[in-house]
Amino acid sequence: MAKKEMIEVLDLLLKDLMETNILFGGKVVVFSGDFRQTLPVVRGGKRENFVSASLLCSKIWNELEKLQLSKNMLAKIDPAFCQYLMRIGHGKEKINSQGKIEISRSFIIPSTDEKDSLNILFKLVYPNLYTSASNISFIIFRAILTTKNDFVDEINDMLIMQSPSNIKVYIVVDETLDPKDQSEYKDFMHTLNPPGLPPYKLSLKKHCPIILLRNLNSSRNQRMYRVKVQVVDKGQPRDNLQKTNKYQLMILQDEEETQVQGIMYGSDIKSYAEMFLPYHTYLISVASVTESNHAYGISINTFLWTIDKGTLIEPTEEVEPPEASLPPSTQLTLTMFDSFHHQPEGLEFDGLAIVVNIALPTCATNGSRIQELIIMDNQ
């Protein structure tokens, strides 16, 4: 919960920006929280310091409109526990001679030693873990809360070892900014496990839940998108100018008919041979955005999407629930007939034409069958 000083500063800032004395400059600001649970943290403070630092004790508290939620949605499947929490919140739960609430024995794990007590806790929270680990609902609707990140890591490691299936261990590569410091600080960096980053030693097993993070190795010129696009053009696989790599270009269009060029390289072309069908709609995520490279043909804009094995591609008709496909494109990049001879050799381009005459099939001098057509553009 934010301290009252931060909220009061926000109030002053908005008043100054909007040049008015109305609370929060006349802007709608919504606060949410529970004063019985999430009081502000005051270093070395006591209960009265925590209360004093809360919004409840701010000069603007009486100017706020209060809306209260009275139904505990999280505990509705356990009414007895819900009522117990509400009695504590309202200060109506019985206290002992020392003025403290005695926790019911049904909520307490008998303490013998730390390891045995944790094992009893595991059996209560995750009964039959060995046989039920593959049940997703069994895993994701259960959790053990604790007070410190070190305890979280310890409990996670113990549960991982009790889970069935083979374990895989991944080791982080720590590097210093100055390579000269690597040997001196390498062991020290291995001891650091900052919140929000993977631990130095990550142990995983099949069916064990994990929290996925962003790609921490994306370069400065890359951004990640998730967007619905339609394939409006797709070229044939070609060699780059140096004949060192194959590539395939396509034009993708979003719901606002904004077009971007996509590119695939090498083995990725074969991997996605059944994808990106013309005029089909796809949901694309984790496509890297990079600057266009003229070694791979003429670009339609400054940036292009690189489609590789790390890109997530889902046809709209296969997702749950199914997504509506995009309508046919009204923007076509066309080349007129009289400019065909100006196009670079080997370049693919589109033209719009009307067939005005079709000759009967005949045989060429080499024996192959041919058929001539006369077509006309809109010029």
pTM of the predicted structure, to 2 decimals: 0.43
Show the tokens assigned to 55.
Answer: 């919004």
Which backbone phi and psi does 248 adopt, to 5 degrees?
-140, 125
95-131 pLDDT, tens digit per residue, is 888 888 888 888 888 777 888 888 888 888 888 888 8
**Which residue type occupies 27?**
K
User: For the chain, where do the domains classified as CATH 2.40.50.140 start and end?
Assistant: 226-315
Contact in structure between 256 and 281 (CB atoms under 8 Å):
no
Structural element, H or E, at residue 375: strand 373-376
Least confident of 167-171, 253-257, 299-303, 322-326: 299-303
Rounded to whole angstroms, how far apart are CA atoms 322 and 341? 45
Kindly report, residue by residue over 299-337, the tens digit of the pLDDT.
Answer: 666 778 888 887 888 888 887 778 888 887 776 666 666
Q: What is the CATH number of domain 226-315?
A: 2.40.50.140
